[in-house]
Structure 1
Amino acid sequence: MTAPAIAVAGIEKSFGDLSVLRGVDFDVSPGTIFALLGSNGAGKTTLISILSTLLRMDAGTARITDADVTADPAAVRQAISLTGQFAAVDEVLTGRENLVLVARLRHVRSPSAVADRLLARFSLTEAGSRRAGTYSGGMRRRLDIAMSLIGDPPVVFLDEPTTGLDPQARNEVWDAIRDLAAGGTTVLLTTQYLDEAEQLADRIAILHEGRIIQNGTLDELRALLPPAKVEYVEKQPTLEEVFLTLVGTTPNGEER
């Protein structure tokens, strides 16, 4: 069997008297999208901070591509990329300059070629010469994700990547995340949006009060509830469907 790209066992973390994580366990298979679903304050960002070596756990173990998070943090940092809740782009620089800067900081060969390749991959070539401060929310987030891929990390952490985005921009980011997994990248996605996990994830874990209370595929989680009753009702379009139709895109982000 293939070793998990992320293996978490018994992680605990407290801040003073506040217990945030109370024994978290899960594995993530390589090249899949794993959604960590939970409400505000459930501990999602704390867990991501631990896995990305920004915060030390109180107990438990975690391995990223077989590197121990506590014992070998340098190897873990080489294997991961982290995109936080807000796009970390330099708004004064152009999109291309942002990418070239990060490529140089990471000592990647041919920074200009890497920047051009990522601009094309995220449909930002035409906007590459514009200042990032002029980008829409979705374009800025796509640029942020593109920057995080410089150096080809096998594991990417996305901490609530669509927070504050409009429906059209959110669909753009969803497409970018799907492309990551299709290219073999392992994605750990935290979100509080149920539809986001439903649309993207191969597996979904529900984090509640510091513990994983369920972990499975969407079908496995649905099977926990009684079978659906067949009823014939008139289905009205959602407001999101109305909005996307009026602006000329489908719910999948495709132009009509």
Structure 2
Amino acid sequence: MSTYTAVKTWFSPTGGTKKAVDIFCDGLGLPVKEIDFTVMGNREKTEEFTHKELFIASVPVYAGRIPPIENLYKNVKGNNTPCIIVACYGNRHYDDTIAQLKNILDERGFICIGAIACIIPHIYSDKLGKGRPNDKDEEIIKAFAEKINGKLESGELSEISVPGNPMPEPKPVKMIKTWIEGLCNFCGLCAESCPVGAINRETMFIDNNVCINCMRCSKVCPREARSFEAEHIKLKLEQNFLKPREIECFL
């Protein structure tokens, strides 16, 4: 039986990534400590981890990259701490995400012993990744978790190789954001929930230089006063990427 404690961390503005990493941790069967990196204050804290903890870094894929947040996973420090990467994407491709996040964690004292690319609903299309992770996905994710547990028990904590560019160029996505003032009751939930603090609590305006287009504000708004116009992206995705992709595991 493994003596490790799992440290489950996630950045999940709309919940898909959190669902996938929850399944993975259920399959591990280890004691779990949780840190929600969707919360800006949690990302700003300096956290250090030991070689007897399993650090799990889970992120959504944004245009083939990790979310464009400067301090995402940059205030954590490992001490030869084994880690797992859970990259979640909306059925197009994860591209450089795993390699990029692995590079960040390598530099911070972690040893990446496994990674998994999971499919979740795409935030710009209700067709791509619909219903994922499904029952079959759950079986695959939990089987992967069992293999990771086997690695921990055997002590064979070898570093894995992953595809992709570890230092990709930024790939900004342009979107039109809509706020309907007549529907808004100024409850402030969107501003409080924004992972990057892009919404002014007084004016409700979005700072486009800070916003990462994660769509959390539109998801949490109880009056549907916020929305994103991404029809051009949606059409391109649905024309080319409707065929369901399979989960990929790296061990």
Question: Under a length normalisation based on structure 2, what TM-score does the superposition of the two structures give?
Answer: 0.30
Higher relative contact order (CA 8 A, sep 6+): 1
Q: Which has the larger radius of gyration?
A: 1
Q: TM-score, normalised by structure 1?
A: 0.29
More helix by share: 1
